[in-house]
Structure formats: C-alpha cells, structure tokens
A and B are shown apart, each in its own frame.
Chain A
Amino acid sequence: GAGVSQSPRYKVAKRGQDVALRCDPISGHVSLFWYQQALGQGPEFLTYFQNEAQLDKSGLPSDRFFAERPEGSVSTLKIQRTQQEDSAVYLCASSPNRVEQPQHFGDGTRLSIL
C-alpha cells in the first residue's frame, strides 16, 4: 500500500503478557517514529529511527519497552510484562528524509491490557 501500515489494529492481552506491534513504513522512507496516544490525549513521542539506527529512545516509558528496525524498513515495538497503564493506541509514522516530520501516521494499534 501507499501509506504506513500497522498490525494488528487491535490487540487484547492479559497483564503480564508480552506483545509485539508491527509497523510497515512507506517504502524508501528513512525516518520512522513511534508515538503512544492514551485515551483523550495527544500523542507522546516514544522513539525514532533513522534507517536501522535508533537515534532517540528517550520517550520509552520503561525498560519493558523495546523497539527495533533491523533492516531499515519494518519496525517492531515490543512491550514485555504488560501493565494496565500500557493500554493506549500506538502510532507509527515515517518520513522520506532526516529532516521532515511525517505527513501521515498509520492508523495505529489499539492495545488493551486486561
């Protein structure tokens, strides 16, 4: 497709389980971003990749959160030992170069922790 694709769209997990969220950026885009959007709030920055390099992970809430982009295209956000406060929509976005902010974000993965 032409846009940023995220899967799954919805994920329900029990507290303590591990989850993996996938992001397929627009083909050829250098920069990739992950944001977390809690219900009724604006998105909050999690992490940023330039190709395969994770240049900024300052927004990751704890060491339970891990992101990778091993080949500089698809990215995975992994959350270990999930907690209820991890419930949110996780948004991914990409941009074509090192300086531009995203035009479009993916539709997100809505994560619910029971």
Chain B
Amino acid sequence: AQSVTQLGSHVSVSEGALVLLRCNYSSSVPPYLFWYVQYPNQGLQLLLKYTSAATLVKGINGFEAEFKKSETSFHLTKPSAHMSDAAEYFCAVGGAAGNKLTFGGGTRVLVKP
C-alpha cells in the first residue's frame, strides 16, 4: 500500500521568499514520486518526477525536489516565489511498474506582494 502526507494545507509566502512544501510518503516498493500543480478551475500539470535516478530533481518554473529515502520525504522548493506560483500543489506516489498514482491532500500556496 502507498500513501502520501502533505504537511500544511495552506502556506503563505512573500514574493521573493523561499517556497518549501513538505511531502512524506509510504511505499512498500521503490517509489516513483511526483509533484503536480493545479491552478483554479484547471487540471493538474506535472512539475517534476523522481524515478530512481538523481535524488535532486529539477522541474519546471524553477522548482526542485530532493528525494531522501532515510526520511521518506520528497519536499518541493523554489528559492524565490513569484505571484504566478499561487496555486495548489499535490505530491503523489506511484509504484515502479504501476499506473495508479496516490495523491496527497494538497497544499495551497498564497503569495503576498
């Protein structure tokens, strides 16, 4: 069984400040891990994914995430927040050969000017 926990349903950051979104996972098989972003009334867009290659993964829009097996974490960061980063972010886990994603509950990011 797989599960994902996102700490903090809402995060507020100032424009230009560090964005840090936390994700912890549970998986009985080597996990594939994903971060998706969802803007209001839209579907999800893949930001980045970890598939057992490099543990530091770079994605689109300046985001990156680090896979830490010992901590079962896959936290998402961006050094400097932009107003356009205001959205909801979902962490997800999938098995190496599976096709089903298990999503966390999401973290809504508010960016203050």
- Do chains A and B interact in one complex? yes
Taking a contact as CB atoms under 8 Å apart, the answer to whether A104 and B45 are in contact is yes
Taking a contact as CB atoms under 8 Å apart, the answer to whether B43 and A45 are in contact is no
Contacts of B46 in A (CB 8 A): 101-104
Q: Check A104/B103 contact, CB under 8 A, given A42-B90, A43-B90.
A: no
Q: How many residues in A have their beta carbons less than 8 Å from beta carbons of B? A: 28
B44 interfacial contact with A, CB 8 Å: yes
A91 interfacial contact with B, CB 8 Å: yes
Contacts of A59 in B (CB 8 A): 100
- Min CB distance A95 to B, Å, is 9
CB interface residues, A 58-113, toward B, < 8 Å: 58-59, 91, 93, 98-99, 101-108
Contacts of B67 in A (CB 8 A): none
Chain A residues close to B by CB (< 8 Å): 4, 31, 33, 35, 40-45, 48, 50, 55-56, 58-59, 91, 93, 98-99, 101-108
Taking a contact as CB atoms under 8 Å apart, the answer to whether B43 and A56 are in contact is no
- Min CB distance B18 to A, Å, is 24
Q: Check A45/B44 contact, CB under 8 A, given A101-B34, A101-B49, A101-B94.
A: no
- Min CB distance A24 to B, Å, is 13
- Min CB distance B10 to A, Å, is 11
Taking a contact as CB atoms under 8 Å apart, the answer to whether B100 and A45 are in contact is yes
Taking a contact as CB atoms under 8 Å apart, the answer to whether B101 and A45 are in contact is yes
Taking a contact as CB atoms under 8 Å apart, the answer to whether A108 and B43 are in contact is yes
- Contact sample, A vs B, 12 pairs, CB 8 Å cutoff: A31-B99, A40-B106, A41-B105, A41-B106, A42-B90, A42-B106, A43-B101, A50-B99, A99-B97, A104-B44, A107-B42, A108-B42
